[in-house]
Structure 1
């Protein structure tokens, strides 16, 4: 079971070099399970017991499983994100160097560890807007060969490199594409050839560098996974698996995967957008329910905000909190923060602990050192649009935002079990504020 799940996870990540590809993979998995596509621009007609999904920008997706008995229903939601830190290609990309090289002009997307992108085989992937008659069509592209490299400067020319230095994205991080001078538009020509279209028919491109290194299992007991984009595709995959495996006639189960978390979520397809609210509101109405029933449902709803967490680094143990620190392969992480960077509170933590006890999976607790600023995630951002009890959880990993990250093998299965149990349970809120977890 464990080996199969890890193989599925790494295949999913390999097929998802960008957020666009991740959502395409999720759509494929949903379609195999009989989910019907909804369009935001069309009228929705939903039926109890049916399964649906809707995308926005081809980089965010929300899927729904409507129960058959929705008299006192609530929404059970998981939220993860599809994007990872990377380098995005600028519109006019080719730069000629000394009439000997062609490098590509890029800019940083998200907060990556720049040094990890040096000296690795890289290529390009993303979406392309192609003119077809009077239509503009979206096509995904993944150049599946070693195309680029960002070479390090030799230590002989930078003797203090191991003492630490600032990395300039405009100077140090431009990938080499060719040992000859290429004309402007060479990248577009490469993409056109890959897609089998004319260069003149390409009207727009969102292209990113991606790491070509394959996933590996490593460690003396093969207990670790090394892989690009574990943050947050590991959570996107595991929450999807739990969602697909669970059945619940008393809820509307909701799977959400948002784009642009790494740059603040403030886009039309990000967690700060109206996407989740729009889908939940329209689903309630399309099922024949009233506005009052919608607000009652939201009041009793619950979200798992799923984004990976920092495991204790064996060489930097002092960087983590003394008592609220976590380890790979020791279970799902519950994240808390007094300043509300995370949404977890006593109520949502208690409910999630009950879920994990029911699932038979271990739980760990994470908090930042009080003298260190931590990152935020999806939950508190999404709650500005749709307010419900939420717990921030994730899977422990090392080297977050590296071009190649590390996580634990066991934790992948733990998350699937916990999410499946969450979706399969009916969480009810009593008038006295108490909670019950029912099958």
Structure 2
């Protein structure tokens, strides 16, 4: 297998992006830094916008969702929008507000299950915490991002001597009783206050000034290439930071597009998207309306622009696993390192239609990118994406696509080295169409 230096560089950039983004808030901050470095201007939803020709912009909502855009060279009413959407969150574990408690001399942190992770993959890993902390400041508060780089917590397995059926029955963890993470030895003080002091020391603030926090549990092991020819990659959060990074890279590659180009990264996809920062909220419609208003479009013009728009929901796809062939639709086997996957579902769990699929196929052909098609087994429930949510709210032509991967929702996922470059090329062509 031939892997070009450019393709390998794209894959390495993805691993670096993920390793810098152990929480949705960090993912937005990492993206913001790259946009600012390329001359983008941050807008605030609380202020009036003054958009200027030739400028590029982004806006953040809630710290964990972001929309970036480049006004097109052609009239918006004539071209519409080219939008790529993805999500910043991944399934896993989140700390409860009062997480720390002591049990028989051991301090543990209580967690909630966020979305649908493979819980067994969290056992015996070098875990740590990353998120945001709100600290009292004057009459209000300031938000600080924080990550503990070194392994801080752990979920040790029960020895096989006490769980003789684990290899036959699988590792089953009681969500309330058996998921709390071990933090350290109890020293006679209030465990929660001890944990807050650790957070305060890391931020160099007074523990009494900490008001609230949100922490994501993450794996400290960095991303890596693997395989005989390093043809695979492994990391946490490939679902769906790989799509976020592909959209970002494609947007940055199109400095002066003909049509107005938009990248929309949403939080809370893994828990249904129904929030102010989720795809089910008003964020995307609010931003598009403000762009249209600054383009001088009346209501009729906005309708024309939306009717001429194209929305690509980019979320990872299930690659065929040779160890579990019975889990897949036999005539829609998706291969790793074989290009973007068009995802279809008759019950509209994906937003793909025959016309939008043909349009994406033509764009991939133009970019010299191979393309695949995926359908779920009829006797298995199919997951969904932001695609049906956004397309139904905006009334736009839409498609669901993704790069193929293994072990989706595991703490350590795998994908193909070639596929990230393929997806970047495909999305670049979408923005250039």
Q: Give TM-score, length-normalised by structure 2.
A: 0.96
SS, match of residue 143 in structure 2: strand
Q: Aligned equivalents of 2:131 and 2:368: distance in 1?
A: 39
Of 253, 257, 267, which residue of structure 1 is paired with 2:265? Answer: 257
Distance in 2 separating the partners of 1:369 and 1:69:
43
Kept in 2: contact 1:102–1:176 (CA 8 A): yes
Distance 1:112 1:376 in 2: 15
Give the unaligned 5+ runs of structure 1: 426-439
Give the drift of 1:290.
Answer: 1.9
| Correspondent of 2:99 among 93, 100, 104 | 93
Aligned pair 1:193/2:201, yes or no? Answer: yes
In the TM superposition, 1:61-140 aligns within 5 A as 61-70=66-75, 72-98=78-104, 100-140=105-145
CA distance in 1, matches of 2:8, 2:342: 25
Write out per-residue CA displacement over residues 337-376 of structure 1, whole angstroms, 9 at most, x where no aligned residue: 0000001111100100010000000000000011111100
1:365 aligns with 2:370: no
Give the equivalent residue in structure 1 for 2:35. 30
- Mark the runs of 5 or more structure 2 residues left unpaired by the alignment: 1-5
Quote how far apart the aligned CAs of 1:405 are. Answer: 0.2
State how far apart, in whole Å, the 1-side matches of 2:326 and 2:197 are.
50
Matched, 1:220 2:228: yes
1:12 maps to 17
In 2, Cα distance between equivalents of 1:227 and 1:374: 24
Contact kept in structure 1, 2:258 and 2:432, CA below 8 Å: no
Conserved 8 A contact 2:319-2:404: yes
Question: Shift of residue 381 of structure 1?
Answer: 1.1
How far off its partner does 1:180 sit?
Answer: 3.0
How many Å separate the matches in 2 of 1:375 and 1:327?
Answer: 19
Instruction: Go from structure 1 to structure 2 and tell me whether the alpha carbon gap of 1:416 and 1:402 turns closer, same or farther (over 3 Å shift).
Output: same
Which one of 239, 246, 249 corresponds to residue 241 of structure 1? Answer: 249
User: Greater CA deviation, 140-149 or 380-389?
Assistant: 380-389
Q: Shift of the alpha carbon at 1:161?
A: 1.2
Aligned residue number for residue 169 of structure 2: 164
Q: CA deviation at 1:143?
A: 0.8
Residues matched between the structures, number: 424
Contact 1:274–1:385 (Cα < 8 Å) also in 2: no
Q: 2:314 aligns with which of 303, 306, 313?
A: 306
State the Cα distance separating 1:3 from its structure 2 match: 2.4
> For the residues of structure 2 that align with 1:385 and 1:340, how far apart are their CA atoms?
14
Alignment of 1:332-343 (within 5 A): 332-343=340-351
CA distance in 1: counterparts of 2:408 and 2:63, whole angstroms: 25
Residue 432 of structure 1: aligned partner:
none
Secondary structure at 1:4's aligned position in 2?
helix
Q: Residues of 1 paired with 2:89 and 2:73: CA distance?
A: 34
Question: d(CA) in 2 for partners of 1:45 and 1:5?
Answer: 34
